[in-house]
Structure 1
Amino acid sequence: MAERRRGLMGAMVLAGLVAGVCTGAAGCSAGGAAAEDGRAADPVETLHRAADTLVAAGTSKARTSMEMATGGTRVTIRGQGVYDYRKQRGELKVLLPQDPAGTSDHRPITELLAPGALFMKNRGAGVPDDKWVRVETAALSDGNLVTGGATDPFAAAEVLRGTRTATYVGRTEVAGTAVRHYRGTADLAVAADEASAGGRDALRAAAKGFATARVPFDVYLDDEGRIRKVRHRFSFVNGQQEEAVAVASTTLLYDFGAPVEVRLPAAADIYAGRIAEE
């Protein structure tokens, strides 16, 4: 089991890194609020606009969770941070799961997200503590939807630009906020064609690299159309295993308008040496 768990962790490694209830007085029966909301807007068109709505919102805080499962083994990686949707920059602290023995001496990994790039600090495996590792997201077979252990919040929204089918499920709540729940399937190739210039190449890489370009999702929008929660389900085949790895990536967005300042590392602060395998 320990070997399988290490294998599952390896599925996330880039050079060693694990790189409701109804609300409202009228209720939410199929003939009530759900039917009313269903008449208000087409779900597919609504979700196509979700990323642009985040840009209009400016900034937010974010929490992430990435669950990986294969062969009966499951691990979870969690993150928390902030994001600027206009600059497409964010900062997350990503916490790796415990090792098979139930202990963990991993320090949180700091990740800076930017168009076309992922920067990681506290990377370990021979990287000096004061240096960053820089990764070109378009060079990753998953476009960094999975590798970093957290899906870039704006990339998560841009996946919805590829929504092919969607249904309105009904009203519920996320963290005390009234939201509309939608469920559907997005096509990564279509999302890439419609994406912003900064996210296009990464999504194209993901469309080619995943076991399937079709991504099932559940998304929850507040009354202003902003994403409050989105959950994607990805599937890919690890090069060291024949069986597919199922990945469920959840992103929670809150505290819109929060101050965000993300400074990318200077060239001198980026590690240029070989990254050892852990």
Structure 2
Amino acid sequence: MVEQRHGHRSGAAAVVSVVSVVFGAIVATGCSGGGGGPQTRTVADERPGGGHPVLAAAVDGLLAAGSARARTSMETVTGGTRVTIQGDGGYDFRRRMGRLTVVLPRDPAGAEEHLPVTELLTPGALYMKNRGAGVPADKWVRIDTTTLEDGNLVTGGATDPLAAAELLRGARTARLLGRERFAGATVRHFRGTADIAYAARRARPHARGALAAAAKGFTTMTVPFDAYVDDAGRLRKVKHRFSFSNGTETVAVTSTTVLFGFGTPVTVRLPDPGDIYSGRIRS
């Protein structure tokens, strides 16, 4: 058991343990990249210097939509064990704020081990309620995502939907696989690889800090993805595949974000300062 005074950094595992039970093997290494190997770059429409106009414009499409409902899924596979964390909520793209309810997996005995965690996503900060591990039930925990070694791309159990879209700005390769039907809409399905450091340089200001932190904390910068963009230029679904090494084996993490119900009002109210926990956090 690790104890840490909130606000002092000693790696992602000591900062936040929403997924410490699930991702202990990942965060214990400080998100050191591993596995995955070199990515194939023989794609039809790779552009010198990287970048893809449709994927780069996906953020603009979300801003034009204003808001959307969101579902997230984060799956880890390590040592033959597969664990999935589900999230559901909404995101206001213009305010760059979202609210998710994250459901952690049951324990092996089948009993529910954790209460659902409420997460408020904001530029540079993640707020969590029902975080557990010594935090009073009526208090929130605030995490500065620019200090997380993965920029909160995986540590919180869900990738911020806007950050997931911004990461596509770093596409070094992208191939159009064709048109498909998804959730009642026609979408273009792209498959490629994104570079986190490149995305950090191209991202809008609100996302640069977290992506820059991830660029420093990951050893492997290349992230394979599948992205689905509708004819209005809105990102409908994106799946990123991260790989880490815990020193003895490779941990595969697949983060999926699905966006729908565009224009649905999303209300995000940040906690009052007195409702934010400042005591010791066990992880």
Q: What TM-score do you get using the length of structure 2 for normalisation?
A: 0.82
Aligned to 1:54: 62
Give the counterpart of 1:234 among 239, 242, 248.
Answer: 242
Counterparts of 2:110 and 2:245, CA distance in 1: 26
- Give the corresponding residue for 2:267: 261
- Report the number of matched residues: 244
> Aligned equivalents of 2:13 and 2:253: distance in 1?
10
Following the alignment from structure 2 to structure 1, what is the Cα–Cα distance between the partners of residues 51 and 132?
44
**What amino acid is the match of 2:19?**
V
| Equivalence for 2:215 | 207
CA contact (8 A) 1:12 1:148 kept: no
| Counterpart check, 1:144 vs 2:152 | yes
Say if 2:19 is the partner of 1:18: yes
In 2, Cα distance between the equivalents of 1:12 and 1:70?
17
- Equivalent AA in structure 2 for residue 79 of structure 1: G
Q: Cα distance 1:167–1:149, how it changes in 2: closer, same or farther (>3 A)?
A: same
Moved more, 97-106 or 264-273: 97-106
Q: In 2, Cα distance between the equivalents of 1:162 and 1:13?
A: 29
1:189 aligns with 2:203: no
The corresponding residue for 1:244 is 250
Alignment deviations for residues 6-38 of structure 1 (CA, whole Å, 9 cap, x no partner): xxxxx978443216xxxxxxxxxxxxxxxxxx9
Q: Which one has more relative contact order, counting CA pairs under 8 Å at least 6 apart?
A: 2
Q: How does 1:1-278 map to 2 (within 5 A)?
A: 14-18=15-19, 44-238=52-246, 241-277=247-283
Q: Distance in 2 between matches of 1:181 and 1:73?
A: 29
CA contact under 8 A between 1:126 and 1:276: conserved in structure 2? yes
The Cα of 1:267 is off from its aligned counterpart by: 1.1
Question: In structure 2, do the counterparts of structure 1 residues 125 and 43 end up closer, same or farther at CA, with 3 Å as the change threshold?
Answer: closer
1:34 matched residue in structure 2? none
- Percent of aligned positions with the same letter in both sequences? 62
Runs of at least 5 residues in structure 2 that lack an aligned partner in the other structure: 1-11, 21-44
One-letter amino acid matched to 1:164: R
Deviation at 1:236, TM superposition (A): 2.3
Over 3 Å counting, the alpha-carbon distance change for 1:138 and 1:43 in structure 2 is closer
Worse-matched range after superposition: 201-210 or 64-73:
201-210
CA distance in 1, matches of 2:134, 2:51: 48
Kindly provide the amino acid, as one letter, of the partner of residue 263 in structure 1. R
Q: Does the CA contact (< 8 Å) of 2:174 and 2:193 recur in 1?
A: yes
* Runs of 4+ displaced beyond 6 Å: none
1:167 CA displacement:
0.6
Q: CA deviation at 1:261?
A: 1.4
Superposed CA deviations along residues 165-221 of structure 1, whole A, max 9, x for unmatched, are 101001112222221101111111010011111110110111222241111100011
Structure 1 unmatched ranges of 5 or more: 1-10, 20-37
- Quick check: 1:16–1:275 contact (8 Å CA) kept in 2? no
After superposition, the Cα gap between the structure-2 partners of 1:51 and 1:186, relative to the gap in structure 1 and judged at 3 Å, is same
TM-score of the superposed pair, with normalisation by structure 1: 0.84
Q: Does the residue aligned with 1:138 lie in a helix, a strand or coil?
A: helix
CA distance in 2, matches of 1:142, 1:174: 30
User: Contact (CA 8 Å) 1:12, 1:149: kept in 2 or not?
Assistant: no
